[in-house]
């Protein structure tokens, strides 16, 4: 695996080891996303307990092959309840996957070898089995009651070791 962009041009530590989420530039912030698209899966909340469960039902804008939003810049216009991650959101959301770059930095942990900022290759997140690539169904045309038939646990888990 290559070193990608993990070390700054002066040979120092990568930005995610030296900056807080709040100190990052927009470009640094965006680059923390590993492209797994787990956050683009619909989740169900138990109204009595507050527990969150994952489904394999993907947002209407998610391209299930590339794991990218089909209209990232305008996503809130199409999906009003899309949560735009901010440092404040990252600090309060309990459902971010354990592999999420934003969550890892918040917790003071390092990024995994397959993160594009470490590997230098955006495909390693898929090769490592971390992404939702080809593992989802679209929410298009699906009734909310049907989501219960699509509950899965893998988005909240670490992928199996190679």
Going by C-beta distance under 8 Å and a sequence separation of 6 or more, which residues neighbour residue 40?
58, 59, 61, 62, 67, 69, 132
| Helix or strand holding residue 29 (H, E) | helix 26-31
| Residue 25 CB neighbours (<10 A) | 10
Residues 141 and 88: their CA atoms lie apart, in Å, by 33
| pTM for the full predicted model | 0.86
**Helices marked H in 64-158:** 75-78, 87-92, 101-106, 116-119, 124-127
pLDDT tens, position by position, 11-60: 689 999 999 999 999 999 999 999 999 999 999 998 899 899 999 999 99
* Digit-coded pLDDT (tens) for 104-150: 999 999 999 999 999 999 999 999 999 999 999 999 999 999 999 99
């Amino acid at each position: 695996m290559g070193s990608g962009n993990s070390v700054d041009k002066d040979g120092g530590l990568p930005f995610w080891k030296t900056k807080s989420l709040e100190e990052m530039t927009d470009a640094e912030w965006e680059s923390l996303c590993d492209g797994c698209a787990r956050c683009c899966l619909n989740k169900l909340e138990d109204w009595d307990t507050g527990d969150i469960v994952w489904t394999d039902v993907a947002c209407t804008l998610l391209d299930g092959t590339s794991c990218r939003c089909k209209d990232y810049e305008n996503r809130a216009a199409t999906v009003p309840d899309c949560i735009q991650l901010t440092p404040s959101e990252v600090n309060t959301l309990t459902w971010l996957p354990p592999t999420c770059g934003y969550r890892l930095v918040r917790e003071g942990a390092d990024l995994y070898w397959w993160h594009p900022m470490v590997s230098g290759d955006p495909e390693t997140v898929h090769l490592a089995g971390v992404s939702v690539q080809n593992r989802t169904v679209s929410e298009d045309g699906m009734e909310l009651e049907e989501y219960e038939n699509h509950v899965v646990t893998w988005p909240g888990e670490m992928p199996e070791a190679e």
